[in-house]
Structure 1
Amino acid sequence: MTAILAFLLAIGVLVTFHELGHYVAARCCGVKVLRFSIGFGKPLFTVKRGETEWAICPIPLGGYVKMLDEREGVVAPEDWPRAFNRQPVGKRMVIVVAGPLMNLLLAVLFYWAVIGNGLTLYRPLVGTVVPDSPAAIAGFQPGDRILAVAGSPVAHWNDISLALLDRSSSADEPLTVRVETTAGQRLDRVVKAAPEADGHANGQIGIVPVRYSLTLGMVEQGGAADKVGLRTGDTLLSANGRKLQSWAEWVAMVHNSPGKEITLVFLRGGERRQLTLRPDSMESPTGFVGRIGAAPTGDAAWLEGLRYEVHPTVAEAGWMALQKTWSNSVLSLRMFGRMLIGQASWDNLSGPITIASVAGQTARQGLDAYLEFLALISVSIGILNLLPIPILDGGHLMYYTAELIKGSPVSERAQLLGQRIGFALLASLMAFALLNDISRLFGG
């Protein structure tokens, strides 16, 4: 229920502001607006205010602003000056682009509110290197301070995440990460595997800021650890006679021991105990690996040392919000472009089910998390609508640009053909996103 309500609120707010952009621009340009609708289908609720009918419809996947237009019905001669189709091409372009721009402005406002409330950031120190990951192969070590990713300087983990995500589809060239080791040496670590390879999707290369302790924080019921009697709170000491130094070392040993016995010494309530553990054998892209069904607790002291607070002024928060909106807009365009040319997986595409799920998760986390989610979706809606696909705002801008160049409108036949192509493309895009959602939902 939380996910559904959070999703409906998000769509309602974002669609309303998008259409409000069109509405305000149309009124400013002297165009008569007949209907302002949130949702599609037969109206559930309508109210007439002045010349405009305001409606709420049952299908919450968009909305529209219906303007006076001779292509959609007979217009009285006295209303010709207020018909959309009779406006100069410049005014029509302003009205069309106002919707996506309103979404981008809304994203700035949401980010501004979140940043102005203060930020919790994490220093760019590597806490854990995932065994057998591209980062592990490249030689990353716990304690490395990340200085730059692909030549772009980083100040905190948010910068690292964005930089890695931006490079997540550059499979043809290695990724160079500048680090400072715990000994103070500055060097380049080169990730030769593509960031999306070996299961490290969305730019993840196998480094995280969290450092894990050797104390178990979760034991999966029915897993190998549960079957031999390991419990939450147990602290691992040694395996096969070798003292364990880190959780990553233990994970590597388990991964390399599918079906093989491991003699484990651990601490429970101050008492040393010993048992023999046989990891389950699980198939992976690189062969069979071991798995015991247990997870560690985080090293609270390490994480506290990484965390710091930033409280910018109102002006600084506004500037940071603009920068974040711009960077996310550029990233969205790049990712979509890479998907089109086959450099990025279409599995990155999400539909309404995933969006509703994330809406619910962020709503439960608090207002700041939910506002950041709204800002990100608002950027996505703005950028998507600016793409040169007929039936979208960007498609209309494409027609009007052609009109400016050739000095006359694009023929109705060409526009009709474009609309059919655009509808087919958009329907395919939505269908693929929905299939991805269903696949994620059922673990496919």
Structure 2
Amino acid sequence: MSGFLYYLAAFALVLGVLVVVHEYGHYLAARWAGVKVLRFSVGFGRLLWARRFGRDGTEWAIAAFPLGGYVKMLDEREGDVPAADLHRSFNRQPVLKRMVIVAAGPLANFLLAIVLYWGLFWHGTEEFKPLLGAPVAASAAATAGLENGELVLKVAGEPVQTWQEMRWALLERAVDADEVALEVINPRREISIRRLDVSAVRRSGWEGDALDRLGLALHRPSLPPVLGTVKANSAAADAGLRLGDEVLSVDDYEIDSWADFVRIVRQSPGKRLALEVLRDGQPIAIALTPATIDEQGEEIGRVGVSVSDGDRARAALMITVSYGPVSALRKAVVETWDKSAFTLLMMGKMITGEVSWRNISGPVTIADYAGRSARLGLDYYIKFMALVSISLGVLNLLPIPILDGGHLLYYLVEIIKRGPVSERTMEIGQQIGLALLLILMAFAFYNDINRLISG
């Protein structure tokens, strides 16, 4: 499958699952409340497929425009309702039931995130340890005195086991703190406290990767350029490379580490390379032409070999984290809550101008992330799906007319004033909400296009 189709399929699966779960939340709540559901649609616009199922003859449909979906319920405001079905009309339900039906969609997205995280935490995930590489010169990490090979044990007193846990803890504290204490241990088993200035993240408007901006990099062990495996029918096998060969040079460029060799190969798709390798103590000349592979829309070279010390390096860099079923569920709930609160906080800071609007992502960027996470593995893809599900839930609960949160706001006003909001007020609200969404979509598409152009 080409890179474009792979990314498109990964994005379509995420979008399809999240839309179905969201709308199914509305559907189940409507059925619980006794409201008749006329149509369950994935997508908007012209119907591509439709079938009727169930005792109410609900129409299940797939429509042409895939970015969303809807559940159409019996409602007197949208057409004539037979007298026998008046009690099953949405508009005839008590306000609290209507609120439950509307809130059930976003809540279903939060529940999906909890279930996904729970499965991951219970099954166990292999992740990078918070092992630091050499800090970028003149960066906050360098100023803090962080060194290559130090392992982060705690962030502001909170224990961390993985690179992602460290990243998340730093992001949370960068919201309102200028400095964060990192407890680290170096290869000599000496424990130190490093004070990291994180204010640069806020000053940048939260643009780009926060850890890159702070000068934090993942540790990359220096491995000798010795072949551990040679894949059959690969470019390396065709060239005559063997297990145990040590690469001395490529096109007269001296190779000091495995990283040097990988970098040159990746930069040379389809290009003939002159290698000198050491085999059984004797230097041998070999001509190697890397195969051309599409990776995230970029052509790279690949030859089909791995490093001899790869297993040892992997064991030093990776950790498998797992929890019992109860602990995993508790952690999943906390993870979903924390990320929901952080998403809402960032949205608020975007309105006040503290966070750049360039952080808004549209479908192109989301599709890119979907494809990247899928290529990294199922664990990463599931985490990505959970994160997008949380974002969708938070977005839909915003008090913007046309979104679920806007309808909940109308019902809250109805409870307070003991009467429904007027049709005129709702019509004006719908227009305002649509305008806000169009503006948001315009920003998202602009940012997508800008990222494509600038790379």
In which range does the TM-score fall when normalised by the shorter chain?
Answer: 0.7 to 0.9
Q: What's 2:315 paired with?
A: 304
Read off the aligned partner of 1:392 and give its amino acid letter: L
Compute the TM-score of the two structures, normalised by the length of structure 1. 0.77
Q: Distance in 1 between matches of 2:393 and 2:99?
A: 15
After superposing the two structures, state which structure 1 stretch, 135-144 or 405-414, moved more. Answer: 135-144
1:403 matched to 2:414: yes
Q: What's 2:339 paired with?
A: 328
Q: What's 2:218 paired with?
A: 209
Residue 26 of structure 1 and its aligned partner are, at CA, apart by: 0.5
Q: Distance in 2 between matches of 1:47 and 1:439?
A: 41
Read off the aligned partner of 2:255 and give its amino acid letter: D
Q: Are the equivalent residues in 1 in contact too, given 2:133–2:220 (CA < 8 A)?
A: yes
Residue 184 of structure 1 and its aligned partner are, at CA, apart by: 3.0
Q: Are the equivalent residues in 1 in contact too, given 2:45–2:65 (CA < 8 A)?
A: yes
Q: What's 1:275 paired with?
A: none
Q: Identify which of 12, 23, 32 aligns with 1:28.
A: 32
3-state DSSP class of the match of 2:78?
A: coil
After superposing the two structures, state which structure 1 stretch, 205-214 or 331-340, moved more. Answer: 205-214
Read off the aligned partner of 1:397 and give its amino acid letter: L
Mark the CA change 1:78 to 1:19 in structure 2 (over 3 Å): closer, same or farther.
same
Q: Distance in 1 between matches of 2:256 and 2:207?
A: 29
Q: CA RMSD in A?
A: 3.1
Read off the aligned partner of 1:39 and give its amino acid letter: G
Q: Distance in 2 between matches of 1:156 and 1:235?
A: 29
Q: What's 2:136 paired with?
A: 130
3-state DSSP class of the match of 2:76?
A: coil
Read off the aligned partner of 2:216 and give its amino acid letter: I
Q: Are the equivalent residues in 2 in contact too, given 1:147–1:154 (CA < 8 A)?
A: yes
Q: Are the equivalent residues in 2 in contact too, given 1:403–1:409 (CA < 8 A)?
A: yes
Q: Distance in 2 between matches of 1:337 and 1:359?
A: 26
3-state DSSP class of the match of 1:64?
A: strand
Q: What's 2:370 paired with?
A: 359
Q: Distance in 1 between matches of 2:50 and 2:383?
A: 32
Q: Identify which of 128, 144, 156 aligns with 2:162.
A: 156
Q: Alpha-carbon deviations, 1:354-385, whole Å to 9, x = none?
A: 11122222223333222222111111111111
3-state DSSP class of the match of 1:41?
A: strand
Q: What's 1:13 paired with?
A: 17
Q: What's 1:278 paired with?
A: none
Matches within 5 A, 1:46-195: 46-49=50-53, 50-51=55-56, 52-150=58-156, 152-168=158-174, 170=176, 173-180=177-184, 182=186, 184-191=190-197, 193-195=199-201
3-state DSSP class of the match of 2:210?
A: coil
Q: Are the equivalent residues in 1 in contact too, given 2:44–2:65 (CA < 8 A)?
A: yes
3-state DSSP class of the match of 1:208?
A: coil
- Percent of aligned pairs with the same residue? 48
Q: Are the equivalent residues in 2 in contact too, given 1:129–1:141 (CA < 8 A)?
A: yes
Residue 185 of structure 1 and its aligned partner are, at CA, apart by: 4.7
3-state DSSP class of the match of 1:60?
A: strand
Q: Alpha-carbon deviations, 1:339-361, whole Å to 9, x = none?
A: 11111122221111111122222
Q: Are the equivalent residues in 1 in contact too, given 2:178–2:199 (CA < 8 A)?
A: yes
After superposing the two structures, state which structure 1 stretch, 160-169 or 397-406, moved more. Answer: 160-169
Read off the aligned partner of 2:8 and give its amino acid letter: I
Aligned length: 379
Q: Are the equivalent residues in 2 in contact too, given 1:166–1:335 (CA < 8 A)?
A: no
Q: Are the equivalent residues in 2 in contact too, given 1:166–1:203 (CA < 8 A)?
A: no
Q: Distance in 2 between matches of 1:342 and 1:432?
A: 14
Q: Alpha-carbon deviations, 1:205-250, whole Å to 9, x = none?
A: 2112323538799xxxxxxxxxx9674x7128xxxxxxxxxx9xxx
After superposing the two structures, state which structure 1 stretch, 14-23 or 433-442, moved more. Answer: 433-442
Residue 127 of structure 1 and its aligned partner are, at CA, apart by: 2.6
Q: Are the equivalent residues in 1 in contact too, given 2:153–2:185 (CA < 8 A)?
A: no
Q: Are the equivalent residues in 2 in contact too, given 1:167–1:203 (CA < 8 A)?
A: no
1:2 matched to 2:6: yes
Q: Distance in 2 between matches of 1:23 and 1:144?
A: 51
Compute the TM-score of the two structures, normalised by the length of structure 2. 0.75
